[in-house]
Amino acid sequence: MRALMAAQENAQERLDHLTDLIAEEAGWDVCSIYLARPSQALELCATHGLKPEAVHQVRLRPGEGLVGFVASSVRPMWTANARDHENFSYKPETGEEPFNTFVGVPILRGGRLVGVLTAQTEAERAVADEEIETLQTVAMVLAEIVASGDIAEAEEMAELELRQSKPERFQGSAYSGGLATGVAVVLEPHVGSEHLIAEDTDREIERLDLAIAALRAGIDDMLEGGRIPFGGPTRDVLQAYRMFAHDRGWMNRLREAVQLGVTAEAAVERVRNENRARLMRSNDQLFRERLHDLEDLANRLLRHLDDAQSEIIAHLPDDAIIIARNIGPAELLELDRTKLKGIALEEGAASSHAAIVAKALGIPLVGGIEGALDKTEDGDALIIDGEFGLLHIRPTVDVVETYKERMQALSDRKLAYAELRGPSVTRDGKRIRLSMNAGLLIEMTQLEETGADGVGLFRTEFQFMVADTLPRLDAQATVYKSVLEAAGGKPVVFRTLDLGGDKVAPFAPSTVEPNPALGWRAIRMGLDRPGLLRYQLRALIQASAGQPLHVMFPMIAAPWEMRAARDMLDRELRHAKRRGHDMPVEVKVGMMLETPAMAWAIGEVLDTLDFVAVGANDLMQYFFAADRQNARVAERYDVLSPPALGLFKQIREACATRNVPVSVCGEIAAKPLEAAVLIALGYDSLSMAAANIGPLKKIVSGLDAGKLGTWLASHLNDPVNSLRPALTAAGESAGLPKEAVDNTVKI
Ligand code: PEP
Ligand code: MG
């Protein structure tokens, strides 16, 4: 077979030779290859032993005859008495009446039925398991031969569905904005045809055993070492994996396949394909889940065996769009940024790290597109729509044209925003500081690109969330130092670890809390287990030697917490000094105002603070008691309601009485109408995702803050649910720019 695969033959000759080879080597009177057409009918494409004139003439409907039966059950079958079988269907043109014994196996590729391989003899006889295994292995190689280049493109096969060709559209969720067109890179272990046939079976068995041992050890390590990766499988699933990884049936099927002469990875793929084919046809939820687990396990095993994945990652084509079940942040960061244009994930979540990293890289990411992997092949044209959460596979010309226009409009807007890189000033001359939020070093390039005034919120927990183990002091200091270097003198406000709640670090013991958002998180964790926070403060001090250090503490809910945090910082500063370390030239300490209680108690701590940052995401979630992660309630209440605006006004005024600078750094800081209102309330510093800076500068430049302030003063006590309708109606007469009212400013 290896020789056959290497031979320079045309498509038909290659299939003909294959049937001859199988028949002669394995002692069958007949061997035939049937391949699937788009209608699902199976066409006889090559045969040894049946009438040659039947080739490309005989077709069987799905379910018709024994061949159709194999296709619809996607399982091998044999019978020593074909004519007596209830599914037998007589096709005189093939001349198959003398052949009594029949065996058929499905030809599967990625779990999809490509055709059926059959063998027949005149003699009535039993077919051994081993013979079926051999045919299955041949079918696997055949699936690769058939889908690869020359056969899929050959004229006589033109109407067969060897590759998928229909356009498909999947609606998922947009986790990182933007648009991209490109070619699919399926990031799922798949064995190319050149790695299918073994040169040395003993060596392959050895490789398989080693890979299984590594797989088992990896699972044990995750389970026992408490190193369950964030966004990865849960403990229950891992326990199921462990069970399967020791399952004798699975192991035996893998070994048997290798014994028949394929490589270890080909054996895993074959068993995975068979499982998947069954999975795709089953409606039993439990059974499906079990098979899903098995498939994941097979993928893990392939990764242990196979360097092909790292090859793919190292050699992305231009305009690559990765499509995968899921992807880890570290894996994502390994991809070549100059070539990666988009990501489509069957799973994923808005707060997943892949999404965070994709946003940081400015790459569109669409998640939740279940089933898309099976419909995609390497090299297919794809469009990722990160605005509406869509994935288009093999799009039609019309769809491509529409997207070309949208992409042009998007890049025009980007250019226009780039022109606005100078300082941000309102129409009535108020200077507004617009800073960016960041969490990864790679985002820092955007500081220059957007002309932001600095980093108003550096979320330090990201480094912890993407790491498998606790980042050591040196590693932390290196990141902070690089961030400061990348900032080139612009201020960077580091927020200390805000773990807990929805932000889980893989190495942290996972405790199940009834209300994680109200639970043991952020500064609460930092003060109760001071080791981590102390180390982080030490790293921050070390990194800012010779420069200013700006640090703030999240989720303060009582003055004593702020005082305790500050004490800890002071202690670390003294510690560094005593040891003769180079010190920061100045230290500015801030508090994140994220709890309503602190809005009332703020007077008690202002004297000890250099600045305040309002974390509006959390402040509003606690103010309205509406979970920010829960789509059902997250949008129920409006920040532009009189009580919420009253709170923002009160905080701003309290800070003003003691001359403490205050900024806002939640999502609302990037929303046109909300930002305009905050500015009119006196906030002159806002921090937001980098992509929002350009659009917001446009809003600021058209805003008459004084006029809007006057309008607000007479409406802040209106008995309405929200001032939004009145603001929108007042529009320019309230000093608002047109774009803030009709929401035409887009990223
Ligand atoms: C906030 O709560 O508004 C905030 C900026 O912090 P995070 O979104 O990281 O909780
Ligand atoms: Mg917060």
Q: What is the pLDDT of residues 371-398, one digit of tens each?
A: 898 788 888 999 999 989 999 999 999 9
Q: Which of 180-194, 567-581, 624-638 has the highest mean pLDDT?
A: 567-581
Counting ligands in written order, the one closest to the CA of 670 is: 1
Tell how far the Cα of 616 is from the centroid of ligand 1, in angstroms: 7
How many Å apart are CA 728 and CA 739, to the nearest integer? 11
What separation in Å is there between the alpha carbon of 593 and the centre of ligand 1?
10
Is 92 buried (19+), middle (13-18) or exposed (0-12) by CB count in 10 A? Answer: exposed
User: Which of 25-39, 101-115, 265-279, 574-588 is predicted with the least confidence, judged by mean pLDDT?
Assistant: 265-279
pLDDT of 747 strictly over 70: no
Ligand nearest to the CA of 617: 1
Which range (435-439, 552-556, 581-585) has the least confidence?
435-439
- What percentage of the chain has pLDDT greater than the value 70? 87
CA angle 739, 743, 746 (to 5 degrees): 90
Quick count: other Cβ atoms within 10 Å of Cβ 235? 12
Distances (CA, A) of 427 to 7, 645, 671, 683, 687: 74, 23, 18, 16, 20
Confidence band for 239, pLDDT divided at 50, 70 and 90:
confident
Spatial separation of the C-alpha atoms in residues 380 and 102, rounded to whole Å: 37
Tell whether domain 193-305 is in CATH 2.40.160.20.
no
Spacing, Cα 572 to ligand 1 middle (Å): 26
Tell me the DSSP string of 495-539: EPP--BTTB--TTS-----S-GGGSS-HHHHHHHSHHHHHHHHHH
Which residues have CB under 6 Å of ligand 1? Answer: 457, 459, 498, 594, 615-618, 665-666
Q: Which CATH class is domain 2-157?
A: alpha beta
Tell me which residue of 452, 484, 487, 427 sits closest to 699, measured CA to CA.
Answer: 427
> What are the residue boundaries of the structural domains of the chain, listed by start?
2-157, 168-189+317-399, 193-305, 429-692
- Residue 613 banded pLDDT, cuts 50, 70, 90: very high
Long-range contacts of 164-167 (CB under 8 A, 24+ apart): 164/112, 164/375, 164/376, 164/377, 164/380, 164/394, 165/38, 165/394, 166/38, 166/394, 167/392, 167/393, 167/394, 167/395, 167/396, 167/399
Which residue is it, tokens 């030779």? 17
CA–CA separation, 51 and 64 (whole Å): 20
8 Å CB contact between 14 and 151: yes
| 277 or 362, higher pLDDT | 362
Ligand 1, from 665, 668, 692: best to mutate by most atoms within 8 Å of Cβ? Answer: 665
CA distance 103 to 106: 10
- Give residue 291's pLDDT band: very low, low, confident or very high (50, 70, 90): low
Which residues are in the CB-under-5-Å shell of ion ligand 2?
615, 618
Residue 7, judged by CB atoms within 10 A of its CB (0-12, 13-18, 19+), counts as: exposed
What are the C-alpha distances in Å from 723 to residues 545, 637, 657, 668, 744? 47, 12, 27, 15, 19
pTM of the model: 0.67
3-state secondary structure of 235: helix
- Distance between CA 140 and CA 266 in Å, rounded? 8
Domain 429-692 has CATH 3.20.20.60: yes
For residue 629, give the ligand nearest its CA.
1
| pLDDT of 350 | 65
Most confident of 307-321, 337-351, 414-428, 703-717: 703-717
Contact predicate 410/208, CB 8 Å: no
How high is the pLDDT of residue 280? Answer: 66
pLDDT in tens, 109-160: 877 788 999 999 999 999 998 899 889 888 888 887 777 655 656 666 666 6
> What average pLDDT does the segment 90-98 reach?
86
User: What's the 613 CA to ligand 2 centre distance in angstroms?
Assistant: 10
CA 739 vs CA 692, 724, 735: distances in Å: 14, 14, 12
In angstroms, the CA 376 to CA 250 distance is 27
Asked whether residue 209 carries a pLDDT value surpassing 80, the answer given is yes
Selected residue with higher pLDDT from 133 and 241: 133
Q: What is the mean pLDDT of the chain?
A: 87
Task: Report the chain's terminal Cα–Cα distance, integer Å.
Answer: 55
Q: Tell me which architecture the domain covering 168-189+317-399 has in CATH.
A: 3-Layer(bba) Sandwich (3.50)
190, 304, 353, 392: which one is catalytic? Answer: 353
What is the bridge-based pairing of β-strands 424-425 and 431-438? antiparallel
Tokens of 188: 């799922």
Q: What is the 3-state secondary structure (H, E, C) of 476-489?
A: HHHHHHHHHHHHCC
**Tens digit of each residue's pLDDT (9 = 90 or more) over 36-66:** 877 778 999 999 999 999 998 999 887 899 9
Distance (Å, whole) CA 83 – CA 89:
8
Which residue among 31, 45, 655, 665 is the active-site one? 665
Mutate to test the pocket of ligand 1, among 359, 440, 457 (most ligand atoms within 8 A of CB): 457
Q: Spell 498-532 as b/e; 16+ CB within 10 A means b.
A: bbbbebbbbbbeeeeeeebbeeebbbbbbbeeeeb
Query: If we measure between CA atoms, which residue out of 567, 389, 562, 545 comes closest to residue 481?
Result: 545
Phi-psi region of 746 (alpha: psi -120 to 50; beta: other; left: phi over 0): beta
Q: CA 73 to CA 71: how far, in whole Å? A: 6
Residue given tokens 């105002």 in the structure block: 593
What is the 8-class DSSP label of residue 111?
T
Closest among 356, 295, 346 to 323, alpha carbons compared? 346
* Residue 669: strand, helix, or coil: helix
Tell me if residue 655 is catalytic.
no
Cα separation of 647 and 653, whole Å? 10
pLDDT at 231: 44
